[in-house]
Amino acid sequence: MLERSQALVVGSINMDLVLQVGAPPRPGETILASHAELLPGGKGANQAVAASRLGLRVRMAGLVGDDAVGAALREGLAREGVLTDTVAGARGMSGMAAITLMPDGENSITVAQGANGELTPAFVEGLPAEAFACEVLILQLEVPVASATLAARRARAAGAQVLLNPSPPCEGTGELLPLSTWVVPNRLEAEMLTGLADPAAAARAVLQQGPQAVFVTLGAEGALVATRDGERLVAAPEVRVVDTTGAGDAFLGALAYALCQGLDPFAAASLATLAGAAATRRRGAQAALPTLDGLRALGYAG
């Protein structure tokens, strides 16, 4: 019998190589990084840690390689209070990501799936039913979309809500979107999902596919929230940006917390934009993720 959790994350677990550069390299150009660092990452793991730091009891379901990196990633999640009894090992390398970080805090990311590519529907089918007896399932698409879809079906059948971050965008989300309670793309992902460049129009188009709310994250501009009752732009607080890598994952973790607290989408977006902004103030996807006390120090009244 598994310990009950409030949130289940089915997704990717990576080790990130962060390279700080003055400007991105041009084709054929070799440049020197001013700083390099190995840090735990992966959208799934980041979002699990983000929700755990806000006080949720979180279980991670995913795969790491049978290498030293995999052992370190599993241990790191456990130190953050994340339940790892459904993190399994796979032959070969763990997931890896190369993150090029610019002086303004913006980044570009290249991911090698490694063990994450083995997170098949058979793996999801093999997860214990108790794992889905939670309040919210958190999904991203750094794992096969068929696996995410099956996880969403199992979660909905167990009475859980589904929080979907459709990143990176891919084919085959037609079955997944109607199973999702809240959907959270960034501006580019919303356009790629719908073919619509206007965030509000894109949010409305995604909303028509079944979710209760759509949050299009807009970086420093905040987030555009669309529900069947209307739309609203929720502004983000001004902060000194060091690294944007973990901002979206902090946003997701805060939304998971908000779902479990029963907050409405607009109140949830206010909390999430604060969490996303807070996460840009330090380097590293997981190192910068805020706690609830940290958000209260920035003005959150919850």
Strand, helix or coil at 15?
strand
CB 200 within 8 A of CB 187: no
**Residue 133, token pair as written in the block:** 């007896």
Question: CA–CA separation, 228 vs 33, rounded Å?
Answer: 47
Catalytic residue of the set 243, 249, 264, 293: 249
Query: Which one, of 106, 109, 86, lies nearest residue 97 by Cα?
Result: 109
* Known active-site residue 249: yes
Token digits for 99? 């993150």
Give the H or E element holding residue 250. Answer: helix 247-261
- The superfamily CATH assigns to domain 7-297 is Ribokinase (3.40.1190.20)
Return d(Cα 97, Cα 109) in angstroms, integer.
7
Inter-residue contact 114 to 33 (CB < 8 Å): no
Q: What is the pLDDT along the chain (302 residues), one digit of tens a residue?
A: 899 999 999 999 999 998 999 998 899 999 999 999 898 999 999 999 999 999 999 999 999 999 999 999 999 999 999 999 999 999 999 999 898 988 887 888 888 989 999 999 999 999 999 999 999 999 999 899 999 999 999 999 999 999 999 998 888 899 999 999 999 999 999 999 999 999 999 999 999 999 999 999 998 899 999 999 999 999 988 888 887 778 999 999 999 999 999 999 999 999 999 999 999 888 776 878 999 998 998 888 77
Distance CA 127, CA 158 (A): 13
- The whole-model pTM stands at 0.92
CB-based contacts of 215: which residues, under 8 Å, 6+ apart?
Answer: 182, 183, 184, 203, 223, 224, 225, 251, 255, 265, 269, 272
Other residues' Cβ atoms within 10 Å of the Cβ of residue 117 = 16
Taking the CA atoms of 107, 108, 110 and 116 in sequence, report the sign of the dihedral they define. Answer: positive
Runs of H (alpha helix) within 80-186: 121-126, 145-157
Domain layout of the chain by residue ranges: 7-297
Q: From CA 204, how far away is CA 211, in angstroms rounded?
A: 10
